[in-house]
Structure 1
Amino acid sequence: MEQDVLESEEPKSVAAVVADILTKECPSSRFLQNVGLESTSKKKFNRSASALDAHVQELEYKLEKERQAAELMREELVEAKKKLEEADAARAAEYQLLLKRVEDTDARAKASDAKFARLIDPFEGKIV
């Protein structure tokens, strides 16, 4: 703790000094973990090669499953887009058909109005 400290640095705490000494002198000590000064998340991985291989295979399997799920979702999305486009095309065709029917009905109504006007025209202006 008595070592010189630069102006930009803060002096080490007592716990930090004790932790440095313990990790240098006795790296396998669990004292700091037991007293709560060191996180237990600093686990050392002393796995065998076969355990690591098994873990890698498990992760690769999970990754492949996720890739398959993503591919399936892409295919479903393409299928849904295709159905939507077909439905839009059918709706547009139906709209055009209805529009044509309205135009035909309007044309017939105008023709009927013209016939009716010609029928009434001879009677206009005459007093009965």
Structure 2
Amino acid sequence: MITLSVTSPSTKFTGLLAVGASVPIGQSGVVTIRGRNDLLTDQKLGISWVIKDPDGIVVEEYSRWETWATAPGDEQPFIGGRFDLDKAGTYTLEVDLLMNLDNPVVVDSYKGDLCTTTTEVPPEYVLIQETI
């Protein structure tokens, strides 16, 4: 499962959004991906991802192997660093979930849209206006 956590500097809204969600420009995001061990034996899970902004510039590269093996049916969360969503357009994500540290095998992958930033304010955000 892939989620994008977005923090709004103006409203302090913090929420989880699905891949492909529309996000107001100027937010910051954190990607969380949960890898599940679908095998019958304990497995060490690893992950690698690259996030690019609408201009194709890399805004985050992340890779990690878990310290301990994941039991059958259990999930391992991988949480990246915070990055800014400061350009209008579509941010993309390319990710590989791996098993077997000694001889890595890609067991799942995703390549596509992460989110689209817009200048419109969606209903879940509260626009703050003050008269001075």
Larger Rg: 1
TM-score of the pair, normalised by structure 1: 0.18
TM-score of the pair, normalised by structure 2: 0.17
**Which fold has the larger relative contact order, with Cα–Cα distance below 8 Å and residues 6 or more apart in sequence?**
2
Which structure dedicates a bigger proportion of its chain to helix?
1
